[in-house]
Amino acid sequence: MTTAVTPEVLTDPELHAHGDPHEVWRWMRRHAPVHRHPATALPAFWSMTRYDDVRAVYRDPETFSSRHGVLLRPVDRGVDPGGGLTLALSDPPRHKQLRAVVADWFSTRAVRDLEETTLQAVRDVLDRLPADGTCEFAHDVAGRLSMYLIGGIIGVPRHDHERLFRWTNEAFAAGVSLAAHQDLMRYFIDLMGRRTAEPTDDLVSALLGGTIDGELLTEEEILLNCENIIGATENGGLAVAGGMLALVQHPDEWRRLAEDPEALPGAVEEILRWTSSATHSMRTATRDCEVAGQTIAAGDRVVLWVPSANRDEDVFPEPYRFDVGRSPNRHLALGSGEHFCLGATLARSQMRLLLKELLERTARIELCGPVHRISSIAVSGPESLPLRLVPR
């Protein structure tokens, strides 16, 4: 790493859009695996960059709490309003209780039952593309597919999926909370009203009927959890787009999959590791503790840099090589411990079925314009990915 680069640049979104954060993380894993960042517009925090440290924090919710926020927020924005109310921003035992309300919708069995629905959504999205296969893949395929699937699970009728997709894109592009998008929130308040009067077999109905310690969830809790689940589709879409970019940049790996479709599950895991679309996750220490020789005080914020953990040379041989046959591949792209991604099985199924359909339809994939990465320290991946899916 050049002397001009310091760990503090990690909080600059432009580094993630136009630079190489992996150069910084690689240096930090070797020289400063647990590093204290002073307060700026963001609060002071500790960076963790090694796999073992990141995994240990994920798996110790008693010491490292999610309740006070899981993403760095500018100090002037105050605390996250979802603290203690949502799946992402709660600790045991409440996290487990909230998870139990919706877990059946994301179980292995539920995802298996949804496989035909998922495959139809994949085909619907691909069938929308022009005959010559040109598309803005990040938007037209990856983002749209993720939103269609989660919209269906939540209870949004199929004819409203495109509206949901447009509203969430507007919020993501503006860098604001989905709760700040008035049309989206009004839609979900209306949906809650309809499901209260006539429950159906969907996630909103499950949340409306869900109880914790004998008490129904409040409307605020239901809205914030819907926002939480919908917001996660941004990560899913970026992982899919980033995986496709990796396959374009490594055509030999695409050919491996074409020759051996049985390798698809392993390819999905490598795409998840390689893209690590959730750039960081934050926790707050509940007590004084020590990590890698550094004393972390109660109340200190700890930031886990997931892409760094997933390139840790002590865990992944040749970590900067994209290898769809990598095994073992115990990446942390979907978290670990209590907060392991609720939608992990669905995300894997979606990616596998999309790749399978693309391999059957497509002779080759070509870039047909410049790629632009998203400018963010929270998520990573291609914001713009112009491709030509050359048909068979």
CATH of the domain at 69: 1.10.630.10
pLDDT of residue 80: 87
pLDDT of residue 178: 80
The verdict on residue 162 lying in a domain is yes
Nearest to 369, CA basis, from 173, 139, 143, 134: 134
pLDDT in tens, the chain (392 residues): 444 568 999 999 999 999 999 999 999 999 999 999 999 999 999 999 999 999 999 999 999 999 999 999 999 988 888 889 999 999 999 999 999 999 999 999 999 999 999 999 999 999 999 999 999 999 999 999 999 999 999 999 989 999 999 998 888 877 777 877 889 899 999 999 999 999 999 999 999 999 999 999 999 999 999 988 988 888 999 999 999 999 999 999 999 999 999 999 999 999 999 999 999 999 999 999 999 999 999 999 999 999 999 999 999 999 999 999 999 999 999 999 999 999 999 999 999 999 999 999 998 999 999 999 999 999 999 999 999 999 88
Domain that holds residue 315: 7-391
pLDDT of residue 4: 52
pLDDT of residue 177: 77
Q: Where would I find the H helices in 215-276?
A: 219-249, 251-259, 264-275
pLDDT of residue 173: 78
pLDDT of residue 275: 98
CA torsion angle 151 324 116 231 (round to 10):
-10
Q: How many domains is the chain built from?
A: 1
- What is the pTM assigned to this prediction? 0.95
pLDDT of residue 5: 64
pLDDT of residue 3: 44
The verdict on residue 1 lying in a domain is no
3-class state of residue 80 by DSSP: coil
The verdict on residue 2 lying in a domain is no
DSSP result, 115-135: HHHHHHHHHHHHHTS-TT-EE
Question: Dmax over Cα atoms in the chain, in whole Å?
Answer: 63
pLDDT of residue 392: 83
Write out the two tokens for 194: 């309809």
CA torsion angle 285 177 218 100 (round to 10):
-60
Yes or no: say if 285 and 31 are a contact pair by the CB < 8 Å rule.
Answer: no
Yes or no: say if 302 and 289 are a contact pair by the CB < 8 Å rule.
Answer: no
For residue 136, list its beta bridge partners: 386
Q: Which stretches does DSSP call E strand in 256-318?
A: 280-285, 289-291, 294-296, 301-305
Yes or no: say if 319 and 312 are a contact pair by the CB < 8 Å rule.
Answer: yes
3-class state of residue 75 by DSSP: helix
**45-48 vs 64-65, strand pairing mode:** unpaired
The verdict on residue 31 lying in a domain is yes
DSSP result, 344-364: HHHHHHHHHHHHHHHHHHEEE
